[in-house]
Amino acid sequence: MHNGDKKIYLTREGLAELKKEHEELSKIKRPDVLSRVSQARDLGDLSENAEYAAAREELSFIDGRLDELEELLKQAVVINGGGRTARNSVIKLGSTVKLHIKGKKEVFKVVGEWEADPKEKKISHESPLGKALMGRKVGEKVEVEAPAGKLVYSIVSIH
């Protein structure tokens, strides 16, 4: 599952989350599951030992996730959002954008695909809306094709 030199864009918070998950898996969960594997192994007949099988499967899942996290952390590029500088005149990774759509105001944060979470109003820069917003300025309108038809967003502010 090696995806070469693809950069993984993360905010500082997103990077901290990944590091925290890696730490928790490697220092707490993995040792815990390893001890369950060895306790289950001590119970004898492994062919009928459901706890052993479950613990081995969980260990394999944790190891897979740790490998994935290590790969992500190697490729991570921290994006700087926030701060009121001239650079905030255009939307980029890390920007928080206030949009107008159909008379309503919506606020989104543009993040890398690994941090995207529509429920939290965090949109990937590779999503249709994210792509439409990248590099745009306050006052511009962007059109996005949606299942329900074309949506037109007006950019109100960028932070």
Provide the sign of the torsion angle of the four alpha carbons 139, 85, 6, 64, taken in this order: negative
Shared domain for 38 and 95, answered yes or no, is no
- Per the structure, the count of domains in the chain is 2
* Contacts of 88 by beta carbon, 8 Å cutoff, 6+ apart: 95, 158, 159
Query: Please, are residues 135 and 148 in contact by the beta-carbon 8 Å criterion?
Result: no
| pTM: predicted TM-score of the whole model, two decimal places | 0.65
Could you tell me the CATH number of the domain that includes residue 137?
3.10.50.30
Per-residue pLDDT, 21: 94
Q: Is residue 40 part of a domain?
A: yes
The enclosing domain of 31 has a CATH number of: 1.10.287.180
Give, in degrees to the nearest 5, the angle at Cα 145 between 143 and 90.
35
Say yes or no: 93 and 154 in one domain. Answer: yes
- Note down pLDDT in tens along the chain; length 159 residues: 444 567 888 888 888 989 999 999 999 999 999 999 888 888 777 667 788 889 999 999 999 999 999 998 898 888 875 554 445 588 888 899 999 998 899 999 999 888 899 899 999 998 999 999 999 999 999 999 888 889 899 999 998
Domain end among 32, 50, 78? 78
The answer to whether 95 and 81 have CB atoms below 8 angstroms apart is: yes
The domain in which residue 17 lies consists of: 8-78
Q: Are residues 38 and 12 in the same domain?
A: yes
What is the reported pLDDT for 120? 92
Are residues 141 and 110 located together in one domain of the fold? yes
Q: Which of residues 78, 100, 119 is at a domain's end? A: 78
Residue 5: the pLDDT is: 63
